[in-house]
A and B are shown apart, each in its own frame.
Chain A
Amino acid sequence: MSANPVVTRRPPPWRDVRVLRVVLQLAFLAGVGLLVLFLYFNLTASLRRLGIQTGWGWLDEPSGFAIPDSDFRSSQPISDALIEGAVNTLKVSALGIVLATILGVVVGVARLSTNWLVRKAAAAFVETIRNIPVLVIIIFWYLAVLLRLPPISSAVEWGDLLVLSNRGLVVPKIVGEGDQAVFGVFIVAGLAAAVAAWIWRTRRFDATGEPHHRVLWSGGVVLAVALVGFFAGGMPLAVSLPERGDLGTREGFRLAPEYAALLIALVLYTASHIAEIVRGSILAVHRGQGEAADALGLSGFQRLRLVILPQAFRIMIPPLANQFLNLTKNSSLGVAISYYEVTRVTRIAVSQAAPAPQAFAVLMAIYLFFSLTIAAITNLVDRRLAYKGR
């Protein structure tokens, strides 16, 4: 009995899935490619017709504008201005992320408080701030609050320590004078000692279970060593107190109203979102965990800090990172209140001479870089801290 030979007949190409897949993709890619080419040719043609440069030479041209509160001069190239702007973006984002996290966790925990009044106050805060556009909050703080502080001639002064006016808040600044080398060496040594103390306390805790007090130990070591270095190096630091003149303040550290308005608004807005994430994550921690903590006799605060929050934290990492990203992106709204972050710098460069398509492309690339960096860090942290299946 002869077996029928197995015939594998290929279908005709117009019905062959393998062929169709390739053809479909090629057609799709060709379509997208044609669209991109079409846009590109239109762009270059339009730019040439208007006499706008099509290359990237503008990045090296002098910017023609200065950036307040920095060493940037108008003769420096635009690329330097963009870097300065990106640094300002990071300045407001980094501090904003820290403050928003702290405030958000506090409010989120307060929303679950056993105290009715605290619970309702936190809910009112969240529901109010969350439902107002962040730009409205930013402009409100800038125009309606900070710029309406008394003018410099009638500024609020607390002794020599603090000058508050519509030019900003000026506080004492620590400046170096004389030889800093010895002091620098001590600082580095102090940091190294602090790391060592941290490791030692951690090992000790792992071995014996006695309280580690890592933060106290490390902080104490740094302070002690720095103090010794301060005197050994001949006291190389001085405090510069703010002085009020007729037109502005001299010396001291100035917190500009633009920066303060942007920071406050971003912190409030992001904190209201973080509070909801914190609340959800705490509720997602298994009830038994809290009950077990109670059974062990932990206090309310210990229960939260040692049992609930560490577990809630793992759940909240991805949405929290998303909020950090949103804060960084929302810092671009500083453009509306003339805080010189990277968007405003680009906007000014465009209004001076820089070609708009390229300039905004660079701007988007900078933000994309920030976003991808934050996303990468999140993935790393998430993978390290994620629940290991047990």
Chain B
Amino acid sequence: MTDRVKDWSRKNLFSSAFNSVLTVVFGVLILYTLYRSLRFVFLDARWEIIDRNLTNILVFRFPRDELWRVWLALYLFSAALGFAAGAAARRAGTGSTSAALRRAGPVLVLVAVFLWFSGSFRAVLLTAGVAAVAIGFRALGRRLPLRTAWVVLAVGGGIVLAFAAIMAFDGVGFERWGGLMLTVFLAVAGIAISFPIGVLLALGRRSSLPGVRIVCVAYIELFRGVPLITVLFMGAFTLGFFLPPGTPTPSLETRALVALVVFTSAYVAEIVRGGLQAVPVGQVEAAQALGLSSLKTTRLIVLPQALRAVIPALVGQFISLFKDTSLVATIGLAELLNVSQIITGQPDFVAQGLVFETLIFAAFVYWVGSYSMSRESQRLERRLGVGER
């Protein structure tokens, strides 16, 4: 055992004089950083502000007596995601449970942190229920031999239902959402609405009709050439001006969502274009030889292959949208980042420099979401075998 350690460290840490110096310097630096971080998290940080504001950070202005709707939505959401995971596992075979736990590690830590701060037994029970539903639907997804289209429909329907559970039936419109919930909503709704627009723009850019092509290229290049924040400002300050006079100005949330969609669809279009270009010409020629119309060629032959190839890149775009939703804080929307600044102004916490704690907490939440998704997307990429054919 000691010999193996010796061999390993000689090879990986002390292979040359230079490497030995590096190891010592980095070792000291890392140990010091680790010591300071752990000390901060477990001793110095004053987490009361998170403790008292957990609900604010998660939903902000959302009416407290309607919170059951959020739980209901969470159940629907986890059912849909569990079903999707099960269906995917049926196709590709399943990995070991320990690997799955390791992958879910950051998310589990995040949920544990949330529950720790919530300090409520009911929340623990409800969360356990969410997990149970996810696992149950995963098993169901693995059993039911459904076609891909049905799976996509079921999952999409589940997500739509989840949003409907909150908004419909005298529910709470997304104008009154906030915190992490608004962040997730803007990202999910943003990518979902951008996707069809992006596909159309990509097809337009590849069109043989110059009139269509030029318009699509102009749109795509314009919005890819400017920062998101300028589009957000344009939307937040001027969207009402572009509507027929007399129409009431849409809410700030709606205007932000429109700006996010306008911006993101240009990026989705470029991703889809990459997928379209990757479809071999022979596929189109074969479709033409079969006598398919150009519409049918696109719908039945080109798009299915192109979209399958771009799924990982689309997940990447979703991740960057998830991070970019933080920009709506600059136009005054109370999403995760903005809430973490707002709560430092509460009478109990004002002017105590607690922004350190709240920003680190917000960064941690963003990190878990973004890191886990990028990991899953890499796995998806390997599974789909993109770039291997």
A and B interact physically: yes
Give me the interface of A with B, judged by CB distance under 8 Å. Answer: 21, 24-26, 28-29, 32, 39, 42-43, 45-47, 49, 113-118, 121, 127-128, 130-137, 139-140, 143-144, 148, 329-330, 332-333, 335-336, 343, 346-347, 350, 356-357, 360-361, 363-364, 367-368, 371-372
Q: A28-B212, A117-B23, A135-B327 known; A363 and B230 CB under 8 Å? A: yes
- Cα A389 to Cα B221 in complex, Å, equals 30
**Docked-complex contact A133 and B209, CB < 8 angstroms:** no
- Chain A residues within an 8 Å CB radius of B23: 115, 117-118
Asked if B385 CB lies within 8 Å of chain A CBs, one says no
Task: Decide if B225 touches A367 in the complex (CB within 8 Å).
Answer: yes
Docked complex Cα distance between A113 and B211 (Å): 52
Asked if residues B363 and A47 are in contact (CB atoms below 8 Å), the reply is no
Excluding A336-B330, A360-B230, 15 further A-B contacts by CB distance (< 8 Å) are A21-B209, A25-B210, A43-B242, A46-B243, A117-B30, A130-B370, A132-B366, A132-B367, A133-B324, A136-B326, A333-B330, A350-B237, A357-B238, A357-B241, A367-B230
Q: Please, how many angstroms separate the alpha-carbon atoms of A350 and B231 in the complex?
A: 15
The answer for the CA separation of A24 and B12 in the assembled complex, in Å, is 65
Would you call B243 and A42 a contact (CB within 8 A)?
yes
Q: Could you say which residues of chain B place their CB within 8 Å of the CB of A28?
A: 209, 211-212, 215
CB-CB < 8 A to B237: which residues of A? 350, 356-357, 360
Contact A29-B211, Cβ < 8 Å, known A136-B362, A332-B230, A371-B225 = yes
Q: Does B94 contact A (CB under 8 A)?
A: no
Chain B residues contacting A134 (CB-CB under 8 Å) are 323
Nearest-Cβ distance from residue B198 to partner chain A, whole angstroms: 17
User: Hey, which chain B residues are within 8 Å of A113, CB to CB?
Assistant: 22
- Asked whether, in the complex, the Cβ of A118 is within 8 Å of the Cβ of B22, the reply is yes
- Would you call B229 and A332 a contact (CB within 8 A)? yes
- A116 / chain B contacts, CB cutoff of 8 Å: 12-13
- Alpha-carbon separation in the docked complex, A337 to B355 (Å): 14
How far is B338's CA from A164's CA once the two chains are assembled, in angstroms?
29
Whether A332 lies near B227 (C-beta < 8 A) is yes
**Interface digits, B348-362 against A, CB 8 Å rule (1 contact, 0 not)?**
000001011001101
Most buried by A among B13, B30, B211: B211
For the complex, give the distance between the alpha carbons of A356 and B362 in Å.
32
Asked whether any CB of chain A lies closer than 8 Å to the CB of B244, the reply is yes
Decide: A329 and B227 in contact? CB cutoff 8 A.
yes
Q: How far is the CB of B7 from chain A (nearest CB, A)?
A: 13
Give the B interface residue count (CB, 8 A).
55
| A133 B227 Cβ-Cβ under 8 A | no
Number of A-B contacts (CB under 8 A): 163
Which of B228, B229, B359 has the most chain A CB atoms closer than 10 A to its own CB?
Answer: B229
Residues of A within 8 A of B112 (CB): none
**Closest CB of chain A to B374's CB: distance in Å?**
7
User: Is the Cβ of B22 less than 8 Å from the Cβ of A136?
Assistant: no
Q: How far is the CA of A11 from the CA of B15 in the complex (A)?
A: 79
Do A143 and B22 have beta carbons less than 8 Å apart? Answer: no
Query: In the complex, what's the smallest C-beta–C-beta distance from B382 to chain A, in angstroms?
Result: 16
A117 touches B22 (CB 8 A): yes
What are 20 of the A-B contact pairs (CB < 8 Å)?
Answer: A25-B210, A28-B209, A32-B215, A42-B242, A46-B243, A115-B15, A121-B29, A127-B371, A130-B370, A132-B367, A133-B326, A139-B337, A139-B341, A329-B227, A333-B327, A346-B233, A356-B237, A356-B241, A357-B238, A371-B226
Indicate if the CB atoms of A144 and B355 lie closer than 8 Å.
yes
In the bound assembly, the distance between CA atoms of A371 and B225 in angstroms comes to: 5
* A361: B residues at CB distance < 8 A: 234
Q: B191-218 toward A: CB 8 Å interface, digit per residue (1/0)?
A: 0000000000000000011111001000
Q: A43-B242, A356-B237, A367-B225 are in contact. Are A132 and B13 (CB under 8 A)?
A: no
Contact with A along B26-69 (1 / 0, CB 8 A): 11011000000000000000000000000000000000000000
Task: Say whether B291 faces chain A, with CB atoms less than 8 Å apart.
Answer: no
Contact B212–A25 (Cβ < 8 Å): yes
Q: Give the complex CA separation of A113 and B244 in angstroms.
A: 61
Cα A384 to Cα B296 in complex, Å, equals 42
